[in-house]
A and B are shown apart, each in its own frame.
Chain A
Amino acid sequence: MHPLLNFAHDVLPFTKNWPDWILYGSLVFIVAFGILNTLVAPLTGISTYIERRLAGRAQYRWGPNRVGFRSMLDALPITRGIAKLGDMQPFKFIGSKIPGGLLQFAADGLKLFTKEDIIPAQADQLLFRGAPYVILAGSFAAFAVLPVSFHFRAVNLNIGIFYILGISSIVVPGILMAGWGSANKWALLGGMRAAAQIISYEIPVAIALMTAVMLAGTMNMADIVETQRSGYGMEKAGMLGWYAFRYGGLMLVPFVIYFIGGCAEVNRTPFDLVEGESELVAGYHTEYSGFRWSFFFMAEYSNMFAVGAIATTMFLGGPLPPYPVQFTESLFGPMGNLGMVLRFGEGFFWFFAKSYFFVLLMIHMRWTLPRYRIDQMMHLCWKVLIPIGLVWFVLMCGVKMVRMEMALPPEKDAVAEVHK
């Protein structure tokens, strides 16, 4: 008997009469629903919130920085009285502290919920309706193996990072589905561009990630994090143990290649010619509206977070803090269960802080940089990133082989390297 079934029988006794497969099926459904609503939806919500506010500031559009509780209070006569009270002298500090822009993403969501769902008459019904689900499934599935905190992830998969590369390739047929199913030239062109761009940039991304995998000797995301605990001959390496800063900074090159390739894979500026509005209206989602359209954006924001999370895990130590982790281990260790919770919270904090650093970087890039032309984009991928990535892969192989030849234990030699 599956432990999940036993648990369900204990908590809800009436389910004992149900056939196992119905119960199991509904449990899977509930768990998937819970994950979507507690992890992915808030992540995309927070990312849109940040994006809207930064975009508003970058473009001097102040609206997204104002839609807070205050404007909601102002909407109704009764609550407006309460808001007015907040402006008066003794309460004024409250009125000025009402956060701006906090409800923008809720307002966006409501707007998208209530918009009319238009399907073009000429569109291929099945492909047009199916495409958002395929894209969303492809980007959500990558979350299963992310090591969100110490010893905390949905699945401890031996092939972790390879699984992410594999499962996220479902997105490309999904984008083509949307582009072709819309029966619209712009959508088709955008879909073609997206597919060409994503499968091109998969190569430098995979090479950069494999460099880190080669050094770690494992594809398990949690084990890759563990190998970054120590380095340079120090047990307590802190951030010097992260792959990006190891080997005298040599690994910074694959790290930057991964980030550039990751931006291109999620179609963010400067690589957003997939939806270049001056040429293609909105690319593959031109014909979509309402909630179906918002699915594409949920996929885009969860992909952005996934790129940041993968870069964090592979190159920046995942949930490891920049100070030696042994410090907090010795501090929280004797505290029992509370210590475990604190340790968990610490890893959680650093993982999300680092991942959101990349999300912020991508948002800033979007509102700062102009767009690449398609030939420039292809040139960057095939003639710049891939050769550098390959050369660096061989170089790092050489570094690792030399260290193995000299019988240097992977982490215990480089003190001299640092203090030279």
Chain B
Amino acid sequence: MIAILGIKLGDPAAWVFLAFAAVTCASALVVAASRNIIYSAYALLLTFFGVAGLYAFLDADFIAAAQLLVYVGGILVLILFGVMLTHKIREIKLSNETTNPIVGAAIAGFVFLALAYVSLYTNWDVVDRPASPTTGEIGKAFVGKYLLPFEASSVLLLGALIGAAYLARRDKEKA
């Protein structure tokens, strides 16, 4: 079988993986490059979906579903609300023009090379075993070893929620 970067091209799963990877990368490009902010927001839907697919390929089933639930069902909808309530969305004047393209390209290229080097030359720990469910392990970790960080972050989120509700509330005396 032909193999490129460890991907066996004869394996149907490899093609599904490549499709997910291609969708993720292409839609991420649209998010960054599109002039129409609505298209950017919807390309983000495909990006989130593709990332969830990649999680599924890593046997991280719980994370994959959580990715959809939190990012697509929550954050993306919030972004869409914001974008759709924007005035005159089709004729946006960009206030931030491109500056320092050479330096930016250099940094981007360096980051890309560094990531490519790491992904190609790291001795990845390949485990040859069937997928095992992760949900139970995650649950035990949350209420066992990592109980304090878990509770601390949930208190933080609760504080943010109360703060948001307080800020959004209409002042009764002024109204």
Q: Which of A's residues lie within 8 Å of B, judged by CB? A: 2, 5, 20-21, 24-25, 124, 126-127, 134, 157-159, 162-163, 165-167, 169-170, 172-173, 176-177, 180, 188, 192, 195, 199, 202, 219
Q: Which of B's residues lie within 8 Å of A, judged by CB? A: 9-12, 15, 38-39, 42, 45, 49, 52, 61-62, 64-69, 72-74, 76-77, 80-81, 84, 133, 135
- A124, A162, A199: the one contacting B38 at CB < 8 Å is A124
**Chain A contact surface mostly:** helix
Say yes or no: B133 contacts A158, CB within 8 Å. Answer: yes
**Chain B contact surface mostly:** helix
Say yes or no: A165 contacts B12, CB within 8 Å. Answer: no
Number of A-B contacts (CB under 8 A): 83
- B10, B65, B77: the one contacting A173 at CB < 8 Å is B77
Residues of B within 8 A of A165 (CB): 65, 69
Say yes or no: B77 contacts A166, CB within 8 Å. Answer: no
Q: How far is the CB of B56 from chain A (nearest CB, A)?
A: 10
Q: How far is the CB of B51 from chain A (nearest CB, A)?
A: 13
Q: What are 12 inter-chain pairs, A to B, with CB distance below 8 A?
A: A24-B12, A25-B15, A126-B39, A159-B62, A162-B69, A162-B135, A166-B66, A173-B76, A173-B80, A195-B81, A199-B74, A199-B77
Say yes or no: B77 contacts A157, CB within 8 Å. Answer: no
- A20, A167, A180: the one contacting B68 at CB < 8 Å is A167
Closest residue of chain B to A2, judged by CB?
B12
Q: Which of B15, B66, B69 has the most CB of A within 10 A?
A: B69
Say yes or no: A176 contacts B74, CB within 8 Å. Answer: no
12 more contacts with CB within 8 A, not counting A158-B133, A169-B69, A192-B81, are A25-B15, A124-B38, A158-B61, A162-B69, A163-B61, A166-B52, A169-B74, A170-B72, A176-B81, A180-B84, A195-B77, A202-B73
Residues of B within 8 A of A219 (CB): 135
Closest residue of chain B to A4, judged by CB?
B12
Say yes or no: A20 contacts B10, CB within 8 Å. Answer: yes
- A20, A163, A170, A173: the one contacting B12 at CB < 8 Å is A20
A219–B42 CA distance with the chains assembled, in angstroms: 30
Q: How far is the CB of A141 from chain B (nearest CB, A)?
A: 10
Say yes or no: B84 contacts A192, CB within 8 Å. Answer: yes
Closest residue of chain A to B45, judged by CB?
A173
Say yes or no: A166 contacts B135, CB within 8 Å. Answer: no
A172–B81 CA distance with the chains assembled, in angstroms: 11
A202–B69 CA distance with the chains assembled, in angstroms: 10
- B12, B84, B135: the one contacting A21 at CB < 8 Å is B12
Ranked nearest first, the 10 interchain pairs of A and B with the lowest CB-CB distance are A169-B73, A166-B68, A166-B65, A24-B12, A158-B133, A166-B69, A21-B15, A162-B65, A163-B65, A176-B80
Closest residue of chain B to A5, judged by CB?
B12
Residues of B within 8 A of A127 (CB): 38, 42
A202–B72 CA distance with the chains assembled, in angstroms: 13
Known: A24-B12, A172-B77. Contact between A177 and B42, CB under 8 A? Answer: yes
Closest residue of chain B to A196, judged by CB?
B81
Residues of A within 8 A of B76 (CB): 173
Say yes or no: A158 contacts B135, CB within 8 Å. Answer: yes
Residues of A within 8 A of B42 (CB): 127, 173, 177
Known: A127-B38, A170-B68. Contact between A157 and B61, CB under 8 A? Answer: yes
Say yes or no: A162 contacts B62, CB within 8 Å. Answer: yes
Closest residue of chain A to B13, judged by CB?
A2
Q: How far is the CB of A280 from chain B (nearest CB, A)?
A: 16
Q: Which of A24, A25, A157, A166 has the most CB of B within 10 A?
A: A166
Say yes or no: A24 contacts B68, CB within 8 Å. Answer: no
Closest residue of chain B to A173, judged by CB?
B45
- A159, A180, A192, A199: the one contacting B73 at CB < 8 Å is A199
Say yes or no: A159 contacts B65, CB within 8 Å. Answer: yes
Known: A21-B15, A158-B61, A162-B65. Contact between A169 and B72, CB under 8 A? Answer: yes
Residues of A within 8 A of B65 (CB): 159, 162-163, 165-167
Closest residue of chain A to B49, judged by CB?
A170
Say yes or no: B135 contacts A159, CB within 8 Å. Answer: yes
A2–B14 CA distance with the chains assembled, in angstroms: 12
Residues of B within 8 A of A134 (CB): 45
- B12, B73, B80: the one contacting A166 at CB < 8 Å is B73
Residues of B within 8 A of A199 (CB): 73-74, 77
A169–B38 CA distance with the chains assembled, in angstroms: 19
Say yes or no: B38 contacts A188, CB within 8 Å. Answer: no
Residues of B within 8 A of A21 (CB): 9, 12, 15
Q: How far is the CB of A207 from chain B (nearest CB, A)?
A: 14
